[in-house]
Amino acid sequence: MVRSALGPQGGARLNKGPRAGADYVPAATVVAGSLLSLLPIVSATGWWPDFGLLMLLGWRLLRADAWPAWWAAPLGFLNDIILGNPIGLSVAMWAAITIAMDILDRRTMWRDYWIEWAIAVVFIALSEIAHWRLAGVMGAEVPFNNAIGPAILIGALCFPVAAFVAYRLDRWRLGR
């Protein structure tokens, strides 16, 4: 330990702690994910995933204390008004995901990357299905295969990117 502190790279390792505002970085990246929907992409199909949700899942699977659990509701509200969803959809969905994650944390005995990916895919699929059912209730009954299948697949494939971003940002904000 002493030797590493005296070594050439040792100086960089001293005096490192969490950065200023480290507590707010995770929530800020979720909002940034929601804001990605403002990119000027005019697409005929709506198959891109909900990036705010991906970041939420990425952070929540990485660590349980990324933000106080109740922040899920206001983050969901921001997501709703930025994306133009029916207001309350992400509020309820994200709060429910947070509760389900807390229960999962107590029940699962073993975690590895594949299990986390599977959990994320389940939540992405549930969220897309909730969007789809709600669109049906509001008079936009889309066939399942057209709208939801590709969206779930693309969301599942995008999740590792969100998890990687969350992991690197976590290292950065904690100064490691």
Partner 1 sequence: MAASAGPRPGWSRRAQYSLFFSFLAVIAGLVVGLILLILSLIAPQSYAAVRGAALDATAPVSGAFREVTTTVTGLFSGAGNYWDAANQNAELKRDRAALMRRMVEARAILEENRQLKSALQLRERTRDAVAAGRIVGSSFESSRRFAIISVGASDGVQVGMPVRAAEGLIGRIIDAGSVASRVLLVTDRANIVPARILRGGQPVISTGRGDGTIDVRPLEVGRNPFKPGDVIVTSGTGGLYPPLVPIAKVVRLDDDGAIAIPIADPARVSFAIVESPFEPEALIAAASGVEAP
Instruction: Give Cα 33 distance to the centre of its chain.
Output: 8
| Interaction pattern, residues 135-174, with partner 1; x per rule: CB under 8 A | x-xxxxxxx--xxx--x-----------------------
Segment lying near partner 1 (by CB under 8 A), choices 1-9, 10-18, 21-29, 99-107:
99-107
Q: Are 52 and 31 in contact (CB under 8 A)?
A: yes
Shortest distance, position 24 Cβ to partner 1, whole Å? 16
Q: Does 38 bind partner 1 (CB under 8 A)?
A: yes
Question: Rounded to the nearest 10 degrees, how much is the dihedral formed by the CA atoms of 53, 56, 58, 62?
Answer: -160
- Number of shown-chain residues binding partner 1 (CB under 8 A): 68
Question: Token digits for 115?
Answer: 């299990």
- Closer Cβ to partner 1, 77 or 117, answer by number: 77
| Residue 81 amino acid letter | I
- Closer Cβ to partner 1, 97 or 169, answer by number: 97
Q: Are 89 and 131 in contact (CB under 8 A)?
A: yes
Shortest distance, position 128 Cβ to partner 1, whole Å? 8
Residue 37: DSSP 8-state: G
Neighbours of 166 (CB within 10 A): 25
Question: Token digits for 130?
Answer: 């909730």
Residue in 12, 14, 20, 39 binding partner 1, rule: CB under 8 A: 39
| Interaction pattern, residues 116-135, with partner 1; x per rule: CB under 8 A | ------------x--xx-xx
- How far apart CA 93 and CA 19 sit, in angstroms, is 31
- How far apart CA 152 and CA 16 sit, in angstroms, is 40
Which positions lie near partner 1, rule CB under 8 A?
35, 37-51, 64-65, 68-70, 72-74, 76-77, 81-96, 98-99, 102, 105-106, 108-112, 128, 131-132, 134-135, 137-143, 146-148, 151
